[in-house]
Every structure is written in C-alpha cells, then in structure tokens.
Structure 1
C-alpha cells in the first residue's frame, strides 16, 4: 500500500482545476459577447463609450466581466464613470427661530440661516404631531424687512388613517438668509376637516376627522440641492403589459425579469385616486425563497384643497439583478390599473486611452469567472476632474455572440471539485495513518512476545 499511496496523491492533485490567474491573456473566445468600436483612434487620445442597455443587460454586476481588447489581444485599461454630474453634496442647516406670532387660525414663524450658507431649495418642518392639514406660505428676505413669497404648499399628516405625510416645502434655490413661514388652518365647517375626498368605482376612501390644532414644530431645517449642476442622465428600460397576480392576502404581485441596475422605478397608472404601500425585492435566481428586500415606500395620487398631490415612483438604488418583485398592498381596495413600469439608472460611460494609431478595439463581456479589473487609470480620470478632460465619443456596433466561446468552469464548480478531491485526500491520509498505526502496534506486540519467551 505504501507504494501506491504517493502516486495516488499525485493523481488526485492533478484533478484540481487550476485557478484563473489575474495575469492570463484574454481573447475574444473567452467571452460570450463582443461589440466592435467604430472610428479611427490616435495614440494617447482619450475616448468615451456609452454603455448601452444591451451591454448592461449582458454583463455582470459592476461590469466585472467587461474587457476592452485591441486587435492584437492586448487588454486596454479603462474607467467607468456615471453621468450624474455631481455638484457639492447636499447640506442641511438648522434655522434659528427669531420670532413667533399666533392667531386663532394661523401662526407665523420667522427664522434665519447661519451667516455663511449655500442656496437652499427646501425647508423641512420637524414635528412629532400627527393628523393635521395646514396651508404653508413661505417668504424670503435678505434683510428681514422686505419679503418675497417663495412658495405656497400644503403640509399634512393623515397617518392614523392612511400612510400620507408631508412636512417639506419646496421652492426654487434661494440665497435669502431670512425666512417667514405662515401656517393657516384649511377652512371647513366646525372643528374638524374632511381632509381628502376620494371615491373610486363606488368605494369611499375619504380621510375624515382631521382636527384643527396648533402645530408643534421642534425645528426648521433648510436643505440645499444639486440643482446647481446639470443633473443626472438616466438610461431606462420600459415594461408594458406587465402580468399582475394576486397573492393570498390580496396584494398585487409583479415579477420583472430585468437584468439591469436601478435608481428609480416609476409606475404608469390610470387610477384617478390611490394610496398604496409598496415593497420592492430582488433576486438573481427567481425562486420564491430567494428574494431579498430592497425598499419600502408609498405611491399616491389625490387632490388636496384643490391641489393635486402625486408620487408615482420609488427611489431604490440597486446593483444589477436578474429579477425584481413588486408587492402592492391593496387591503380592501381594488387592484390598481397598471399600464406600465419604467426602471431607470444613471447612465454609465467608459473612458480609455488609445494605445496605437489606427488600432481596432473590441468591447467584450459575458464571462462567469473573471473578477472586476483594477486599472490605475481610475486614479487619473475621476468624476471630479472629468470636466478638465476632452474625450471623443465612440460608437459601438451591435453586440454579437461569439461562436468560438467556450464557457469556463464556474468558481462554484471549481470549489466543489476541489472540496471533493481534498475530502478524498483526507480519507486516504486517515486510512494510511490507520494502516501504519495497525502495523506499528502489531510489530510492538510481536517484539514483546519475543522478549517474553524463555530461551530454549
């Protein structure tokens, strides 16, 4: 057995598949898809490629399998930057309240920002109160004397009956330091208000009994925005005629086979009034037990004091996933008339520097084992300094299937093979040690027996 032991180990070790090294040379046949770049390229010039929806759908999350190859098979470094044109980060200021005046049906608050501040585009009222409905008139001033009306909005909370609340007042970016907020009770008969009147297909969803009362405000916050920049550019994937099923609880359930990342999901609905809680989940396999929670929010549409209020989208930043599940809580209401859904994500552009004059390049993707590349170019071309570079746009051809592509063993399969081989090696080692111990014990016993026998 000793003669067979070492050769057996050698044979088993050769069965373990080699790890895919980071420095291995890649070719088109290592990828399921490729698209050729169009144009004449000059050495050391910067170029940019819009990563289209077709590229996004066929690549892996984070574009881990995306490689830019020259005609000679050289891997060309690149960097991917989102087209969101970020300005300064959003900043929140606490306003100092300088005056307060109260009347029977209104209250006026005067407040000011810190001396050094950026323009703000919203004021948020921080309050723990529930079940209120006020008209808010916001004015701004540079000196605290001459005032200009900036916005007239409704602030409200109906959370004891429906999941609706708004304490934010939006307006165009303002450099004013002083702000005056007048809160007025919405007029109706008696001490109570019928806040919302909603009727649809014979069902009454009205919100009643919102009591008139003074609103206790803990603080006021001024918030800046990114509107000083161009804003983000989005790519989209639209789903029409989406199948909707009802689960046992009467919730509307929608399954989307998306294969794209997401920043926002928008609903196209024909219903005149609604307010529904929505849960968003994701999965890469699609089995019922594989979905994980991504976001919870509310979509609504109604008329409040003659003004239309609507939110038909959910903000939910997500990496690329194969499936998304949307669950809409209907409670006792009829299902919404869903006409379509739109997934949006910030457009991604790839930047690279040409290696040679007149070289041909291909963008290849669709490889299950490659890791996300780490190129040093990302240290020199960044979102912050991109405006100082001039990049020439490059068009791509159609994304085509490589006939010579041979799938590499997946990392999961390699791991299983390695585990199996190592298990067999351990079993052989244990058996070998057991056999050796057995021989050793027998030898010792035999020697003891030999010493105990009398000389004859």
Structure 2
C-alpha cells in the first residue's frame, strides 16, 4: 500500500490505518519512505492487530516512525498465510516542531489484592492524572522462574473499568543470564488508573512491586482525515499557517481536522 502525502517538505511521523471492520488479525509491518516513488528506504518496523475478547475488539493500528519529509510512504503488511489484509484508508499525523519523544515514568502500586479463590494477584496504579498518553507498561518484580497470563484494565475514576487487553509475562534465569518479558503493549491510552491482574493458576503468587509507563509526548500534531481509500493530504502554505496558530513561544493551539480529496493513492499491498 503506497500513500502520496501530496508534496515534499511536509513533516510527518505517524499513520493510523483504517482496517476492515470484521475479522481478527496480527501482522508485522514495514514502513518505507521515498521522495520520488521509485527509490525506497526502510524507516521503521511495527505491528498491527485486532483481536476480539468478550465481544469487544482490541486493536492497534498506529504506526510511529522517525520524523520524515518524504512525499511517499509505502506500508508493507506481512502475509501470514491467511490472505491479503487490505486497509481502507489512513489518518496522518504531522509534527513540524519535534519528533515524538518517548517519556517514561516509574510508578509504585496504590493497592494490591490477592484472591485465593480464583488465584489472581491484582495491582492498581495511579498515574497522577488523565490525559497523558502511554502505550506500554513494564512491570517490576523480584520473582523469578515464572510464566503468567495477565490482563490490563483502565479507568478514569477507579470505579468503572474497561479491558485494555491480555498478555503474557515471564522471568527466567538461563545460567547467569536473565531472560525477562515483563513489558505489556496496548493501544495508546490516556486513563489515569491502570489495573494489572496476574493469573497464578495454582502457582505461587507474583508480587508486582512497581511499573514503568512509556508513551510518546507530542506537540503540534494535526490530523488529516481521509475520504476514500488512501490519499492523505495536500496543504497550501496558508492552510498550514492556519493550523499552526501560535499562542506563545513554541506553543500552538489545539489540533484541527482537515479533509482532502486530492493526492494520489496506489493499490499496492
């Protein structure tokens, strides 16, 4: 799938794909850039997925990549043997001030509960406020030699919770080498409270002592909402200046959506 941004010199660093409305999938993705639609360079690797749990879809269709001004983007979606996965469009995010910066914060638990009946360890975290974006949670524990299933739940008031997905965590020692998988990825979220439920299933309890929350801090990001399949955006200088309304040194007002039927799209997969 090839996308024509509409002109060179427009700064961009993120695409959010529009996937078919039905079906589950998990695919690896290569993101390539070109200034002439002939010579391509790989700029990032990522994954996209959609799974349905308890009747609710859990998906991640966001592709982050280093700041680029290339006119053309090519998205290569790996074939896992289940057939073509054709995207229905994309939303482009452009940042003309800074590239996304990964921000990490270490947080201690605010509550922990052991359920000896259903064999779970539940840990609640308070990130301090809602609105800050995160997409990864890396758990901290002194336990070793374990493999557990976990679920994440999110809330803004610590009363109403929604599922944010399932994952697996593990920690082993091979000789003198630690082998750990304690990072849980989820779609970008902004909720204040995070609940981690570890399923022990008759094994010794895993005590979570803390967590590191990771997310991309963004400034001056605006949205291009696609009509049709793939054309993203072609902005004039005046329109771009309107979007970058300055409110102070290095500060700009909230983002705004624009629609464009111009540009070009190519049906490559």
| 2:15 alignment counterpart | 123
SS at match of 1:224: strand
| 1:110 alignment counterpart | 2
Report if the CA contact (8 A) 1:129-1:216 is conserved: no
Shift of residue 250, structure 1, vs aligned partner: 5.8
Shift of residue 119, structure 1, vs aligned partner: 1.9
Which structure exhibits the higher relative contact order, with contacts defined as CA atoms closer than 8 Å and separated by 6 or more residues? 1
Q: Which has the higher strand share?
A: 2
Shift of residue 144, structure 1, vs aligned partner: 1.4
Equivalent runs, 1:18-417 vs 2, <5 Å: 109-115=1-7, 118-127=10-19, 128-159=21-52, 165-186=59-80, 212-225=82-95, 228=98, 237-239=107-109, 243-246=112-115, 252-254=121-123, 260-261=128-129, 263=132, 267-268=139-140, 272=147, 274-280=149-155, 282=157, 292-293=159-160, 296-298=163-165, 300-301=167-168, 310-311=183-184, 315-318=189-192, 326=195, 328=197, 330=199, 337-342=206-211, 385=248
SS at match of 1:292: coil
Shift of residue 260, structure 1, vs aligned partner: 4.9
CA deviation digits over 1:194-221, x for unaligned, max 9?
xxxxxxxxxxxxxxxxxx1221311122
Partners of 1:163 and 1:272 in 2: CA distance:
25
Report if the CA contact (8 A) 2:148-2:199 is conserved: no
Report if the CA contact (8 A) 2:107-2:127 is conserved: no
CA deviation digits over 1:134-161, x for unaligned, max 9?
3322211112122111123333334369
Partners of 1:297 and 1:122 in 2: CA distance:
22
Unaligned runs of 5+ in 1: 1-108, 192-211, 283-290, 319-323, 345-382, 389-456
Q: TM-score with structure 1 length normalisation?
A: 0.34
Shift of residue 181, structure 1, vs aligned partner: 2.0
CA deviation digits over 1:121-144, x for unaligned, max 9?
222221124222333222111121
Partners of 1:117 and 1:146 in 2: CA distance:
17
CA deviation digits over 1:224-259, x for unaligned, max 9?
35870795978765349x643228766544467x79
CA deviation digits over 1:327-346, x for unaligned, max 9?
638497979724223587xx
Cα 1:329/1:273, change in 2 over 3 Å: closer
What is the aligned residue count?
Answer: 200
Partners of 1:294 and 1:226 in 2: CA distance:
36
Shift of residue 316, structure 1, vs aligned partner: 3.8
Report if the CA contact (8 A) 1:137-1:152 is conserved: yes
Partners of 1:114 and 1:333 in 2: CA distance:
57
Partners of 1:123 and 1:140 in 2: CA distance:
13
Partners of 1:227 and 1:261 in 2: CA distance:
25
Cα 1:114/1:277, change in 2 over 3 Å: same
Partners of 1:261 and 1:326 in 2: CA distance:
15
Q: Which has the higher helix share?
A: 1
Partners of 1:235 and 1:302 in 2: CA distance:
20
Q: TM-score with structure 2 length normalisation?
A: 0.52
